Chains A and B, each alone.
Chain A
Amino acid sequence: MSNKLISQMGLPSSLANVFSARNILTAKDALSLPEFDLMALLDVDRDQVRTAVARISEIACPPCRTALSLMEDRALTGGYLPTRLLGLDRALRGGIPFGALTELVGPSGIGKTQFCLKLALLAALPSSYGGLNGRVIYMDTESKFHSTRLIEIGRSSFPHIFNSEGMAQEMAGRIIVLRPASLDELTESLQQIQLIILQHDVKLLIVDSMAAILVGENERSTTGQKQHSCHLPLSFLKSLAEFSQIPIVVTNQVRSQNNYEVVHYPFQGIQWAHAVTIRLIFEAHSGQRFIKISKSPTSPAIAFPFLVKSSGIALLSDEGLEVTGSEMSTIRCEGLNVLVEGAEPFPHLGC
């Protein structure tokens, strides 16, 4: 919209010529200048500038929709990918939302990848089994994707599907794993993914994890250097989600030095944090692991205790524990030895 050309907006040709003569070619060029500056630059009177700006604005303005039509659209696309964790789905009013960015954050080894593997399967399942019957793109930046574990989760959770002839192959075949070797490769692939999503009927995109990119962004913002609009990947992913109306899930790491640290993740100070619609914090304390809904438009902050089983994540209780105040955004890493970098250990046995 910002890049719409003034020459194609139907302004009277004398006026249109003046704009292009002064190198004001797009809506963005024209609207970035205050009215007075435009008058001086174009050497036309105020009324003419006002009429021109009104016309340019009308065209560059995004279309107006009523909330009712938004609701009707939602009803058409289904709107959610249920996680099959009853308490979580109930709190999120359905599950992981389409058209939005969901972030999973927590210390290494806690179960975020396990959660992602299950989601990938759920999206691949045929609709008769409650799935989205589509392909999944899994961007694995830290080599944590283990296909044996994926099949194990599948066999444990949906034995009737996975034990029938060829289904395991079919389901696993729908999950496309990309392994970008560097930060640049990751950003590049994100650019191309938009097309892939449309052409290959992709119903879910998972980025596990975004940590490498976000560390870079974080550093830039805290040193106070002016941020130019280089690729802020999360904002890009968010627009991608809105455009393609699929759920996009990203995971994020926190690192603690010792076993009892409480990490105060400075979500408020970081611009990209606003791009996320739902934030689930995975944390450990009091000898248990919890999935905590830290940010959600439809749910208060509640935490569910969970275990990791052979069938993936299982909630120990569907009634959450209410969480208030600053606890909503802290991440507790008690009892998790996170000094070992690299692949998550298989936490089959829970804790």
Chain B
Amino acid sequence: MSASIAMAESSRSGAHALLDGAQTAWDMLSEEQMQKPITTGCEELDTILGGGIQCKAVTEIGGIPGIGKTQLGIQLAVNVQIPVQYGGLGGKAVYIDTEGSFMVERAHQIIEGCIADLFEKFEHRKQSLVCPYILQPNSFLANIFYFRVCSYTEQIAAVNYLEKFLEEHKDIIVVDSITFHFRRDFDDLAMRTRVLGGMSSKLMRFTKKHNLAVVLLNQVTTKFVDGSFQLTLALGDSWSHACTNRIILYWNGNERHAYIDKSPSLRSASAPFQVTSKGIRNVTSNCKRVRMM
């Protein structure tokens, strides 16, 4: 008798423990509404994204070389740092560079553009809203934590190491680009899929545990399929389930566009954007001349 009571009690407390770890949909909604997204710098793009890149989610951004993936990656690593007093998150960024695309001079340029726009936007305030030291390019540069990985081993090691590294508060991880090192050198393709799967579920876990955004830049390549070249996301078949949201950057005539390809909560929509010397911005009709700094 006592044994069955003990068992019933233990299963009840086990059930409690299970429920304790879960969240109700209402809690999640309240949380999501409080969570500020990271602005991309382009208002139209922010709009179709529901305000910007969501924290607590993995967003994949794919596109052909030259379309602006790295530009967007660097922009997000900068914009996450916009102080709370200026409407931002006041956060820090991790940038994992697998191809050596990150150019620190460009980051500096983008930071200067961001700071200039903040001052312009908050011009009506007489004093600076934060300590002047914070709105300096060097401050922003100091909050971008950069890893240069040169092989898939280093990439896996870096993602594993992040588990410990993220104990000190970070708000965004940008991986530029995610599949580059996995496209050659891996002989066992089934194994590759599982290793990629392990890496992606780890990144997914980081978003929940550490309340940050993960942005994965991916290459679009041409595949020779059925007698013609077609554009596909690299390692698309093994990777497609790994992200929460997917955005494709593409050329529409002479304009750059972003298209929401996959999202559980956002509608499929596309928005134009521009890559300027200040960074990612809205397309404006009077911005046709190239202005050199």
Contact = CB atoms under 8 A, between A and B. Distances in A.
B157 A66 contact: no
Contact of B183 (A79, A93, A238, A271): A271
Contact of A297 (B103, B147, B185, B224): B103
Contacts of B47: none
Given A224-B224, A228-B184, A274-B180, A268 B64 contact: yes
Interface string B76-113: 00000000000000000001000111011111110000
A329 B66 contact: yes
A28 B99 CA distance: 19
A297 B149 contact: no
A53 B153 CA distance: 12
A268 B65 CA distance: 6
B292 A2 contact: no
A277 B105 CA distance: 13
A160 interface: no
A33 B194 CA distance: 8
Interface string A51-82: 00110111111111111101100100001000
Interface string A273-314: 111010000000000000000110110101000000000000
B270 interface: no
Interface of A: 1-2, 27-28, 31-35, 37, 53-54, 56-68, 70-71, 74, 79, 90-91, 93, 97, 100, 222-224, 227-229, 232, 238-239, 242, 266-269, 271, 273-275, 277, 294-295, 297-298, 300, 302, 319-320, 322, 324-326, 328-329
A57 B263 CA distance: 32
B153 A60 contact: yes
Interface pairs A-B: 5 shortest CB-CB: A269-B222, A57-B160, A2-B153, A325-B254, A60-B157
B191 interface: yes
Given A269-B229, A322-B290, A298 B106 contact: yes
A91 B109 CA distance: 13
A320 B290 contact: yes
A49 B266 CA distance: 39
B147 A68 contact: no
B50 interface: no
Interface of B: 64-66, 70-71, 95, 99-101, 103-109, 138, 140-154, 156-158, 160-161, 163-165, 180, 183-186, 191, 194-195, 197-198, 219-222, 224, 229, 231, 251, 253-255, 275-277, 288-290, 292
Contacts of A274: 65, 99, 101, 180, 219
B163 A242 contact: no
Contact of B141 (A2, A66, A294): A66
Nearest to B161: A61
12 contacts: A31-B157, A53-B160, A56-B157, A57-B158, A58-B161, A62-B158, A66-B144, A67-B142, A91-B292, A273-B65, A297-B103, A300-B290
Nearest to B97: A62
A31 B254 contact: no
A37 B198 CA distance: 12
B254 A62 contact: no
A1 B158 CA distance: 11
A66 B142 contact: yes
B153 A325 contact: no
B292 A90 contact: yes
Q: Is the interface of B mostly helix, strand, loop or mixed?
A: mixed
Most chain A C-beta atoms within 10 Å of own C-beta, residue among B66, B95, B101, B255:
B66
Contacts of B147: 61-65
Contacts of B149: 62
Given A70-B104, A329-B66, A31 B153 contact: yes
A297 B64 contact: no
A152 to B, nearest CB: 32
A66 B145 contact: yes
A54 B220 contact: no
B157 to A, nearest CB: 4
Contacts of B145: 64-66
A5 to B, nearest CB: 13
A1 B146 contact: no
Given A66-B143, A67-B107, A298-B105, A61 B65 contact: no
A65 B153 contact: no
A43 B106 CA distance: 49
B285 to A, nearest CB: 14
Given A62-B150, A266-B222, A67 B66 contact: no
Contacts of B254: 324-325
Contacts of B138: 68, 71
Contacts of B275: 300
A334 B191 CA distance: 49
B157 A35 contact: no
Contacts of A35: 198
B150 A1 contact: yes
B224 A64 contact: no
Contacts of A61: 147, 154, 157-158, 160-161
A57 B136 CA distance: 34
B100 A57 contact: no
Contacts of B108: 71
B141 A32 contact: no
B191 A227 contact: no
Nearest to A63: B147
A74 B105 contact: yes
B275 to A, nearest CB: 7
B260 to A, nearest CB: 22
A239 B108 CA distance: 23
Contacts of A232: 184
